[in-house]
Amino acid sequence: MDGYKQYKEKSIYSMSPLELLLMVYDEAVKNLMKAEYALNETDYEKFDDSLERTTRIVRYLTDILDMRQPISRDLKRIYHYLIYDISRVKAGRARQKDELGRIRHILSELRDGFDQASRKVHDTHIAVRPEVRG
């Protein structure tokens, strides 16, 4: 294994669960952008591959849901809808081109929501030293 691959693997293993989740969302968005580009270039093989990668990522997001959390049911519905919509885009190609931006927007919003929620949790749980008087 070359040095870059070792570095990349070590950096992934040292990431927090939130960082990994955000990276997964980023990868899905990146693949959708690749699909849009490939469609514009009529590179249907790359288009199909990019959408298949995105579908696998969304399925992974579905698989890792903790169904004991109330929000997981809603997320599962959203993910299933996204998988359905991606399959429609894949089948319709140019006819469904506008849907790619909408799917990318939904995934970006979910990613940003997790990022913002994490920031709020960290902001409200800062340990404050008690003031000693007397």
Domain residue spans of the chain? 16-122
Alpha-carbon gap, residue 13 to 84, rounded angstroms: 32
Can you give the pLDDT at residue 98? 86
12/99: higher pLDDT: 99
Q: Are 62 and 77 in contact (CB under 8 A)?
A: no
> pTM of the predicted model, to two decimals?
0.81
Q: 25-58: string of b/e by CB count within 10 Å (b at 16+)? A: bebbbebbebbbebbeeeeeeebeebbebbbebb
Alpha-carbon gap, residue 85 to 66, rounded angstroms: 23
55/95: higher pLDDT: 55
123/27: higher pLDDT: 27
Which tens digit of pLDDT belongs to each residue from 36-52?
999 999 999 999 999 99
Q: Nearest 10 degrees: CA dihedral of 70, 29, 82, 78?
A: 20
Can you give the pLDDT at residue 14? 76
Q: Which fold has domain 16-122?
A: Four Helix Bundle (Hemerythrin (Met), subunit A) (1.20.120)
